Amino acid sequence: MLLAGVSRRIPAGSEGRSPRSVAKLTKRSEDYSQWYLDIVTRAEMADYAPVKGCMVIRPWGYAIWERMQRALDDMFKATGHVNCYFPLLIPQSFLQKEAEHVEGFAPECAVVTRGGDKELEEPLVIRPTSETIIWAMYKKWIQSWRDLPLLYNQWANVVRWEMRTRLFLRTAEFLWQEGHTAHAGQQEAVEEAERMLGVYRRFAEDWMAMPVLAGRKSEGQKFPGAVTTYTIEALMQDGKALQAGTSHYLGQNFARAFDVQFQNRDGQLEYVYATSWGVSTRLVGALVMSHSDDAGLVLPPRLAPLEVVIVPIPKAGADNAAIEQAAYRLAEPLEGKVRIRVDDRDNVSPGWKFNEWELKGVPVRIELGPKDLQKGQAVVVRRDTGQKMPMSQDAAAFEVPRLLEEIQSSLFAKAKARLEANCRSADSYDGFKKVVERDGGFVLAPWCGSRECEGRIGDETKATIRLISDEAEECPACMLCGKGPARRVPFAVSY
């Protein structure tokens, strides 16, 4: 019989589903890129849509995104932001008002030219980002310093017509959040941009268990229209860097473009200071590539749609009803505390279930068979290490929440160790090229700050400057041009 409160349902993505393919995943060592795609598709996180470059986010992938959204949204609210929604379609002329912005985004805009059966008077751009339409509206809402700051965020989809796409990492349409704030002072706006980068960093570390480097982007890699772009950069298991979140101090660029002025305390008109900041469904891809292994996805418990799955193991001649009942009894005290389900499907074998839940990255599995029942125990298995821990059923109830926390911090520790092990230094350009080629990862090397050197290094090695840190070590000479002063900045081949 069912115990009260414990759902029988296998959650989104596997609702009483039958088995499908049994093909093995591509191994990381064989083809990293294919390994990634295998996990994303086989774990049923996403699938290719009929339109090139577009993807369907399936329930298992979307559930991860929902958990990310919730955590981030709470953090945004805790820092004083409110949610709102601006429209998908933007008059093309809006994009053109900010010179760098239009230059940056025009090449990748999808444009609507027809409505119904009529040609539109002015083409409408499907938002690649919303600064322009938001600042057009801010003009209406801001008159005085008393109207400021405006701390707005929206959860939305955007479209960027990319040449080359990859599930989650780069798709023509993606989901994200974009914060857009307006401030009465430069200092305050800069602080906001830095604060939100801090939020992203904390989210990456505390929720995704993904350590990051944080800093500013070089002039050449700034967001189109930004004065300063801040970034967090993560390191994937193949040694490539991934930009995981950005925050921009926009200065008065958009306020000027849209003529948004406010009267300051002294009664003078002044352009409003702006920031914007965003993270996207790319984070789901980052998550996959941070922790997963050759058996499939490995999820940090805090973002796992399902944290614990209990697999009852029936046996001929055993009291299988009792086994299943014990499984539900085991789950009951944990319901509400952790996301837990009993996988009582009878059309697949326990072995199948083990593999499937490992593929899907569920952090903890509890096996419960006749032998366990006799001993009053259950076998608790960690997804991240594979470690099997027999423990009494009573102990499991209070051990499991602790174990989940342990897994969360252990994933972070492991990823951090990997990041640190993959931060190397080079002083000469020859040495730099060697390290980039042989080891990958972040390579810290002296750079004079010129766009020319940055560009040439990028062209010749594929490694780009990921960020510039305030604590960057000063060096006498750039590794390329030999001029000084230079700073030591992390380069990496990136996604």
Residues contributing to the site for RNA (CB under 7 A)? 18-25, 33-34, 37, 48, 51-53, 104, 107-108, 160, 162-166, 169-172, 174, 176, 223, 243-246, 278, 280-282, 295, 313-316, 320, 346, 348-352, 354-356, 358-359, 367-373, 379, 381, 386, 388, 462, 495
CB of 467 to RNA, least distance (A): 12
CB of 209 to RNA, least distance (A): 19
Rg (CA), the chain: 26
Shorter beta-carbon distance to RNA: residue 12 or 318: 318
> What single-letter amino acid sits at 169?
L
Contacts of residue 207, defined as CB under 8 A and 6 or more positions apart, other chains included, come to 67, 68, 71, 300, 302, 303
Shorter beta-carbon distance to RNA: residue 59 or 314: 314
Distances (CA, A) of 259 to 70, 179, 271: 35, 20, 7
CB of 474 to RNA, least distance (A): 28
Shorter beta-carbon distance to RNA: residue 133 or 142: 133
Give the Cα separation of 378 and 268 in Å (integer).
72
Shorter beta-carbon distance to RNA: residue 92 or 243: 243
Contacts of residue 233, defined as CB under 8 A and 6 or more positions apart, other chains included, come to 212, 213, 214, 215, 241, 242, 243, 244, 442, 466, 467, 490, 492, 494
CB of 147 to RNA, least distance (A): 29
Shorter beta-carbon distance to RNA: residue 142 or 178: 178
CA torsion angle 63 68 74 75 (round to 10): 180
**C-alpha closest to that of 203 among 83, 68, 294:** 68
CB of 200 to RNA, least distance (A): 10
> What single-letter amino acid sits at 360?
K
429-438 and 451-461 are packed helices; what angle lies between their axes, rounded to 10 degrees? 40
Shorter beta-carbon distance to RNA: residue 245 or 446: 245
CB of 380 to RNA, least distance (A): 10
Shorter beta-carbon distance to RNA: residue 353 or 488: 353
Shorter beta-carbon distance to RNA: residue 53 or 301: 53
CB of 239 to RNA, least distance (A): 13
Maximum C-alpha span of the chain: 87
Shorter beta-carbon distance to RNA: residue 28 or 446: 28
Shorter beta-carbon distance to RNA: residue 115 or 351: 351
Give the Cα separation of 99 and 252 in Å (integer).
13
Strands 150-159 and 82-83, bridge-based pairing:
parallel
Which helix (DSSP H) or strand (DSSP E) does residue 200 occupy? Answer: helix 186-206
Cβ neighbour number for residue 340 with a 10 Å cutoff = 24
**C-alpha closest to that of 73 among 195, 173, 179, 232:** 179
CB of 86 to RNA, least distance (A): 18
CB of 131 to RNA, least distance (A): 13
CA of residue 78 relative to chain centroid, distance: 20
Give the Cα separation of 440 and 158 in Å (integer).
32
**Which residues is 284 bridged to in the sheet?**
none
What's the full length of the chain, in residues?
Answer: 495
Shorter beta-carbon distance to RNA: residue 309 or 475: 309
CB of 270 to RNA, least distance (A): 29
Residue with tokens 């010179």: 99
Give the Cα separation of 325 and 312 in Å (integer).
9
User: 416 and 422 in contact (C-beta within 8 Å)?
Assistant: no
- Residue 66's φ and ψ, nearest 5 degrees, are -60, -40
DSSP 211: -
Shorter beta-carbon distance to RNA: residue 148 or 234: 234
**C-alpha closest to that of 253 among 223, 274, 269, 277:** 274
Give the Cα separation of 183 and 204 in Å (integer).
27
CB of 141 to RNA, least distance (A): 27
CB of 3 to RNA, least distance (A): 20
